[in-house]
Structure 1
Amino acid sequence: MSLTNKVDMHIHSDNSFDGHHSVILLCEHACLKGVRGIAITDHCEIDSKTMDFRALTLNSYVNSRLAQKVFSGNLIVMQGIELGQAIYNKPLAEKILSEFEYDFVLGSIHNLENMEDFFFLDFKNYSVDDLMRRYFEAELELAQWNQFDSLAHLTYPLRYLVDREDLYLDLKPYQKLIDEILLTLVKNNKALEINTSGLFMKMHSTLPDAPVVRRFKELGGKYITVGSDSHYADRIGNGIEEGMQLAKQCGFDFITIYHKREPVMIPIED
C-alpha cells in the first residue's frame, strides 16, 4: 500500500479540551510520518455546561486555516470539527455550522443526555444493555439529523467496557438498530468512520470493527473515512494503514476526504 494515500481524518489539537499540541506541530509531525493529509477535528461538545467551546472552536478554525497556507503543497489540511451530542441542542449545533466554512464535519455521541461521557461512567452502576440500547438510539437520531459528513466511532462505549470491565459485548441484540443507523447513512450519502484508536487499547480492534464495516458495504455504503482520533502529535497516522486495509477487506476500494463538505474519493491502493 502506498503511503501517498495515507490520510488521517480525525485529529485533535490543543483547541480540544483534551488535546495537547498546536495545529502547526500536528502538521509538522504528519509530514514527518508521510501522511498525505489530515483533518483537524477539534471537539465541540454541544451539551457541555462548563466548556468554552465557542472560543475553542473559533481558535481551531483560525489555526487550521493558517496551517492550510503554511503547509500548502506539502500537506492537505482540512478544516474540520467533531460535533459532539448535536442532537441535544440542534439549533445551537446548526448555528455553529453556519458560522464557519468547514471542509469536514464529524458527528459523534460521547454521552447520553444529561449524563457523563462513557469514559467516566462506572458501568457497575448501570444496566449495560440499557446504556447500549439508548446509545444506539441516540446514534440513530444523530444519523437522521444528517448535518454531518461522517459518523464517528459508532461503537464508542466499547472502548471503556473492554478497557475497564473486560466486557467484550455481543452486538447482535442491537443489530436492528445498527442496521437502521447504517441504512440512514446510506440513504443520506454519509460516510462511516473507521476509528483506529481501539487498535492501541485493550480491545485491539477498530471502532466499529470489520463486521459492522462489512455490513455497511452490504447495505450500499459508499463513503469511508479513516481516523486515528489522535490527541498527541506523535500519534498522528497511527493505525491508518490498518484501517485502510480493513476497508479494502470489507469491499471498499476508496477512502474519502472532504473539501468544503463535498466528498473526494481517493484509492486505497495506487
Structure 2
Amino acid sequence: MLADYHMHTSFSDDSTYAMEDEIKKAISLGIDEICFTEHVDHGVKTDLNCDYIAYIKEFKRCKEIYKSQITLKLGIEFGIQVHTIDEFQKDFNQYEFDFVIFSCHQVDNKEFWTQDFQKGKTQQEYNEKYYEEILKGIKKYDDYSVLGHLDMIIRYDKAGNYPFEKIKNIVTEILTHVIAHGKGIEINTSSFRYGLKDLTPSKEILKLYQELGGTIITIGSDAHKEEYVGHNISYVKEELKKLGYKQLCTFEKMKPIFHDL
C-alpha cells in the first residue's frame, strides 16, 4: 500500500495546485490512495480558509472520474488553537470527512513561520508553550484522526533543536492521551524539503509512541506543489520497519484501516 495522507490543492490558501492535476500525478507515481487535507485555520486566516462546499463538490467530481485508477479520501487539516475549538467543532459536525489532521500552526493567533510566536520568548518558553497548546487542545477536542507533524516547531526554531529530554514528559502526556482515545500520529515527509536532520516527528518521538503502545500511523507528503506528491513515502515506510513498526493506516469515515508494511 502506497498512500499519501497529507495533500493540499488550490482549495488551500498556500497552494495553486489543481486537485485533478494532483490526482494525475499520484496515479503516474503508482500511488494507491491519497487523502486531500485542505487548510482551515480559524483565528488567523478566516477569510482564506477552505471553501468547504466548492472543495467537496470538486472532490466528488474527481472521485467519480478516477475511481477505477486510485482511491480518493476526503480529509481536512484543522490548525487548532484552544480558543478556536468551538468553530472547528461546528465545521466537523456539518461535513462528513474520512480523515482529520489535528495540527498546531499557531498559538494565540501568532504564527511560527513568521517568528511572531517565538518573538520575546526564550527557546524553552516557546517550545513548552507549543506542546502545552497541543495538550490542552486534544483534551478539549476529540474529532480528529491523527496529530499532524507533531514537532513542527523545529522547522522554525532559529536557536536549533531543543533537547528532546526537556520536552519528553509533555510529549509523553500528549501521546498517552492520543493512544487512550484511539487516535494516531502522522509522519510528515516535508522534513526532507525543510532540510531537517530527522523525520517529522523525530525518531525519538516515534520510538516513544511505539513504546507507549501506539499503532495508528499515517504518512503524508504535505504536498502543495507537483514535485512533492508522494515524496519519500516509500523511504519512510522502510524507516518505520527499522523502528519495529509492522503496519500503517489509511482511513475511511474516521476509522483507521491497517495495512502491513
Give me the TM-score of the superposition, normalised by structure 2: 0.94
Structure 1 residues 1-270: aligned runs within 5 Å: 5-53=1-49, 56-115=51-110, 117-121=111-115, 123=118, 125-144=120-139, 145-161=141-157, 165=158, 167-268=160-261
How many correspondences in the alignment? 259
1:86–1:107 Cα contact (<8 Å) kept: no
1:262, distance to aligned residue in structure 2 (A):
1.0
C-alpha RMSD of the superposition: 1.5
Distance 2:192 2:198 in 1: 5
Give me the TM-score of the superposition, normalised by structure 1: 0.91
1:86–1:93 Cα contact (<8 Å) kept: no
AA in 2 matched with 1:27: I
Q: Unaligned 5+ residue runs, structure 1?
A: none
User: Deviation digits for residues 224-247 of structure 1, max 9, x if unmatched?
Assistant: 011111101221000211221222
Aligned partner of residue 113 in structure 2, secondary structure: helix
2:13–2:48 Cα contact (<8 Å) kept: no
1:192–1:225 Cα contact (<8 Å) kept: yes
AA in 2 matched with 1:119: W
AA in 2 matched with 1:106: I
Deviates more, 1:122-131 or 1:83-92: 122-131
Deviates more, 1:192-201 or 1:244-253: 244-253
Distance 2:25 2:137 in 1: 33
1:249, distance to aligned residue in structure 2 (A):
2.0
- Percent identical: 24
User: Deviation digits for residues 124-159 of structure 1, max 9, x if unmatched?
Assistant: 643121111010011112222221001000001101
Distance 1:80 1:32 in 2: 22
1:33, distance to aligned residue in structure 2 (A):
1.0
1:50, distance to aligned residue in structure 2 (A):
4.3
Distance 2:236 2:47 in 1: 31
Q: Unaligned 5+ residue runs, structure 2?
A: none
AA in 2 matched with 1:265: F
Distance 2:145 2:198 in 1: 23
User: Deviation digits for residues 48-67 of structure 1, max 9, x if unmatched?
Assistant: 254242x5233222222222
2:189–2:233 Cα contact (<8 Å) kept: yes
